[in-house]
Amino acid sequence: MYERFVPLRYYLENVLKRSVIIKVARDYETAIYEIGNGLVHMACLDPATYCEVKARYKNKVAPLVMPIGKEGAASRSVLVVKDGSAIEKAADLKGKRLALGNKQSSFSYLIPLAMLNDVNLKIKDFSSVDFLQQEDRVALSVLIGDYDVGAMSKGTWYPIWFPAMLFILTGRDF
């Protein structure tokens, strides 16, 4: 995760003419606490975490930037399977092993649940469902075959894991 922020660090150091330290929070609760109490100056938050910070700390945080990619200013969740898997469409997911991220995550839990609901699949339709806490772990667990399908943000999946894994469902822009 640290590596994803190194270009931003270099940019900020160049513009601000001072050293910038990148600190990756170990979990959502830590990120919420540190930004809410002013222990860090910036935080990269998904929509659910941002809403939690706003609810707890009222006017202490404000959105600064949002990711922009080739498709515009949007983030998406994806459900991914290993390339070569027999899973080709949402209906093939029934009875499979599902890896999710963190229960506080928009992109590796909440939005994927809505995506599954949109295609009439529920958590109970999977043979197993586990929370692996981090999207990188979700991706790796699908790649090595511990799980058949995993949920994560498209931003995590594409730059690192493409083309070893393919997505079968993608969420709406957020």
Residue 68 lies in a domain: no
Average pLDDT, the chain: 84
Question: Are 127 and 47 in a shared domain?
Answer: no
Q: How confident is the model at residue 174 (pLDDT cuts 50, 70, 90)?
A: very low
Q: How confident is the model at residue 157 (pLDDT cuts 50, 70, 90)?
A: low
Percent over 90 (pLDDT), the chain: 28
Mind giving me the DSSP string for 81-143?
Answer: EETT-S--SGGGGTT-EEEE--TT-IIIIIHHHHHHHHTT--GGGSSEEEE-SSHHHHHHHHH
CA distance 135 to 150: 9
| pLDDT score for 158 | 65
Question: Are 166 and 85 in a shared domain?
Answer: yes
Radius of gyration of the chain (CA): 17
Phi, psi torsion values for 31, nearest 5 degrees: -60, -45
Across the beta sheet with 97-100, what order do the strands follow? 128-131, 97-100, 149-153, 77-82, 165-170
pTM: 0.70
| Domain extent at residue 11 | 2-60
Q: How confident is the model at residue 148 (pLDDT cuts 50, 70, 90)?
A: very high
Residue 136 lies in a domain: yes
Q: How confident is the model at residue 159 (pLDDT cuts 50, 70, 90)?
A: low
Among residues 68, 75, 78, 72, the alpha carbon closest in space to that of 161 is found at 78
